[in-house]
Structure 1
């Protein structure tokens, strides 16, 4: 096991432009072996942090346990940070309609689709910011449907004291093996729960290793079967789950990833500066550490830094991170077979 308790973490990524080092992203990272033991840990992985939307799969487990009955695509969308493509909006509406509700019941803030083509299509059709377009509308629709199924008040479903949110907190603590250290408010208005980074990794390992017939396995299977619903076109979560058999992965705001394989190997990272551009390269290099080496992994491991609309540098794993994982740089490797 590699360990470093330095709260400043490790230089995880380098951003280059024109051959010069322009920026650095530091953070904390933990990798678990299939046994559940910590294989690598850098930074303060025991300190409470907000996983943000990386907790959505655990929230969905709580909803299923509370009585939500939904088809597999809806379970995936409940766990999603979607980009507002037509299938995402239609899926959220279907969940609401099945519960006898409409978009007016949603408590997430109005927003525009995050996927640029979808946003342009929405605006050209006369649309403005709407709650259904928020990237958490699938989760909110499922939360409302859970309240209907359980006989709970839908008007106050975002309150931390609401039975739904109490059930979510209980499941997060059960799956992560850690007490929730703090509660705040997430960007979508739902409670944000703080747990240690290592506990987040362990919770994802529990999802992927759960036996069939459990709510944990149902969530993991739904996300892996419908990665396009979990995020969307041209996103690392969707593309890397689609290309890596058995991978479960979920990003969160402020630079958080959690991922696991069916054998229990798991990974979680928190980027200190919260940069979202760090996420693709970080998951991709961990997948290479786990033995995946295909064009999709290689593409995401080096995010292009653009100048004038063309690549002039990259966002790539730092030498320190490659050394931690015992990996050569991609330039030192032969090209993978074309897919």
Structure 2
């Protein structure tokens, strides 16, 4: 759902020539929640997709979901189906007295190449437990068991669980949901503006210790590998930046916050996942971070014949807007 007059965010070069451009919307908020940088209209509702998972986890914790740091982190995950992810989702279900037949997310295969090969080598086929949202679905089911709600209809928008989710998404973002559809995993997908998305991550990041918001945020910070997977920008950037809270969503959505409440949200018009690493890395550079992972994800190689011949990186206009030098 691109907004009007979207801005150039990233350039894709090959042999020194700009081959493609990624346009979209972006907002950076200061620690008080005021806009520092705004590109395009960040008040237009978008589908944050899986970037809403941490807010959904807050709703589940408030409704009675309990678990380890690992299973709470996995509730917010868009994981790659690696063994640690599959085992964690199964553990969440088992603790609730359920198994993977209760899951209502679609069957899928692991997305991480080594995990995919091992799964198939062991005779596995598409399975709901391998779906990138299986941790969230397992936590939704466990929440229903705790609250005494029906588990067969947990994805219905009228289900008590989904109504609780709606109330917390609106509360944390400070903005009403204007439309609801169905996400790729079958759960309800809601729209909120980018600015509200950034604001909600700031609220999670700075929440009081022991609150559902802080429990969800701290679990994600402690276990970024569970939130994403091997060699992803979520995992590597969150491991490098102390206290960083970050979550990607399908169709080119990002949301992130630092412990002091500075936050970031972006939507890429073309929905390209390859834009995500360079965008978050650029936001982190704006916030003063410049480690190896920031540099690696800030300039992702474009390959030709198996070797780097170009790069995906912040567009000159974005660098100028943020007063940053090129990498």
TM-score category of the 2 structures, normalised to the smaller one: over 0.9
Q: Over residues 240-276 of structure 1, what are the superposed CA-to-partner deviations in whole Å (9 max), with x where a residue is unaligned?
A: 0000011000000000000000111000000000000
Q: Over residues 205-242 of structure 1, what are the superposed CA-to-partner deviations in whole Å (9 max), with x where a residue is unaligned?
A: 00001010100000000000000000000100010000
Q: Over residues 67-97 of structure 1, what are the superposed CA-to-partner deviations in whole Å (9 max), with x where a residue is unaligned?
A: 1011111000000000011000000000000
What SS does structure 2 have at the residue aligned with 1:90?
Answer: helix
2 CA distance for matches of 1:244 and 1:150?
36
Match of 1:287 among 284, 287, 302: 284
The reply to whether residue 68 of structure 1 matches residue 88 of structure 2 is: no
How many angstroms does 1:307 deviate by? 1.5
Which residues in structure 2 correspond to 1:138-287 (within 5 Å)?
138-287=135-284
What SS does structure 1 have at the residue aligned with 2:37?
Answer: strand
RMSD of Structure 2 on Structure 1 (CA): 1.0
1:304 paired residue number: 301
1:131 paired residue number: 128
2 CA distance for matches of 1:162 and 1:148?
13
How many angstroms does 1:6 deviate by? 7.3
Contact persistence 1:9–1:43 (CA under 8 A) = yes
2 CA distance for matches of 1:6 and 1:244?
30
Match of 1:96 among 93, 97, 108: 93
1:9 paired residue number: 6
Tell me the matched-pair count: 326
2 CA distance for matches of 1:6 and 1:135?
28
How many angstroms does 1:178 deviate by? 0.3
Which residues in structure 2 correspond to 1:14-53 (within 5 Å)?
14-53=11-50
Contact persistence 2:3–2:44 (CA under 8 A) = no
Deviating beyond 4 angstroms after TM superposition, the runs of 4 or more aligned structure 1 residues are none
What SS does structure 1 have at the residue aligned with 2:198?
Answer: helix
How many angstroms does 1:314 deviate by? 0.8
Contact persistence 1:84–1:133 (CA under 8 A) = yes
Contact persistence 1:6–1:42 (CA under 8 A) = no
Q: Over residues 282-336 of structure 1, what are the superposed CA-to-partner deviations in whole Å (9 max), with x where a residue is unaligned?
A: 0001101101011110000011111222211111100011011110111xxxxxx
The reply to whether residue 116 of structure 1 matches residue 116 of structure 2 is: no
What SS does structure 2 have at the residue aligned with 1:154?
Answer: coil
What SS does structure 1 have at the residue aligned with 2:172?
Answer: helix
The alignment's TM-score, normalised by the length of structure 1, stands at: 0.95
What SS does structure 2 have at the residue aligned with 1:67?
Answer: coil
How many angstroms does 1:8 deviate by? 2.5
